[in-house]
Amino acid sequence: MSELNNIALKIIGNGKGILAADESTNTMTKRLSDVNVPSTPENRLLFREILFSSTSMTDCIGGVILYDETIKQISSQKNKITELISETGSLPGIKVDTGAKILAGSPDEKITEGLDGLRERLKEYYKIGAKFTKWRGVYNISKDYPSKLSISSNAHALARYSAIVQECNMVPIVEPEVLMDGEHTAEDCYEKTSIVIEKCFEELILHKVDLKGIILKPNMILAGNKSKNKISNNEVAKLTLKCLKKCVPSEVPGIAFLSGGQSELEATENLDLINKYNDTNFIMSYSYGRALQQSALKFWSKNTKNVEGTQKIFNHRAKMNTLAAQGNWSKDLEI
């Protein structure tokens, strides 16, 4: 078993999942201003450090994706953030793309950038303590989108990124996100997501990426947020499994879903049902941002000194998702 495969299994094995704490400064500023907390480097670190030092880090969180600002910060205990995370038994990771920009030739779509200078940045992050990385490609859904250009360009970028990351002895998280914005049906989402994932693996194989040493981070198969044709949670789980069984090579050790605009409860329930129906060898876990943090953030904003209360809420949410990653969650367990 390769070292990269070991790292991937450590991140999402045994029901553990990923805390996506890699919000950019702009995104974090919006989240904090929504709850009336000033967005300073100190406040951004304070909230994240509360999560990183909670008990659920040891029991539930196998990896934490960080942002460039955070991975270089020093905790209140005067140690590196990567050390704080590692001490809990979780692994530090880093978002390495530089964001989605307008795609030349298709101005309504996006291409993710950040390949320039990537190898040098990765060497620095590895020295700081990062064990894995993340790169997100985004795709719109409509009658005309995602276009072949968008599908091909983003798959190529995700594959080049993955090859360079593995060369630097880290595990790449491959995140092709088909957005839930729009009026599309779940069937549309299934069809477009299948095309996107198949193209990603075509490029990953072409670039000689070791599929045993990656984690796939896809969207679940959902109807658009403005769709009049919503489907049940059972149908979400079954369609999502059908898509992944069709499109993901068996060598891939695991899949960590993004929450993609779902509520905390929806993201947990859908993950649980996916695992209750899971008849594959894939680990099916979570890589959630808002769906792990939102309730804790709202609570913390009312009294930023109430560390214990904030951690209690975060611990509960992490525990619920870890149960869901094992197909052992039920609504009765919610507070």
Question: If we measure between CA atoms, which residue out of 259, 257, 251 comes closest to residue 280?
Answer: 251
- Residues classed as catalytic: 217
Two tokens, residue 308: 């214990």
Residue with tokens 């049940």: 232
How far apart CA 55 and CA 313 sit, in angstroms, is: 11
How far apart CA 221 and CA 242 sit, in angstroms, is: 10
Q: What's phi and psi for 289, nearest 5 deg? A: -105, -85
How far apart CA 200 and CA 153 sit, in angstroms, is: 10
Two tokens, residue 36: 């009336």
Question: If we measure between CA atoms, which residue out of 154, 169, 277 comes closest to residue 220?
Answer: 277
Q: What's phi and psi for 159, nearest 5 deg? A: -70, -45
Q: What's phi and psi for 151, nearest 5 deg? A: -60, -45
Helix (H) or strand (E) holding 178: strand 171-178
Identify the burial level of 316 via C-beta atoms within 10 angstroms of its C-beta, where 0-12 means exposed, 13-18 middle and 19 or more buried: middle
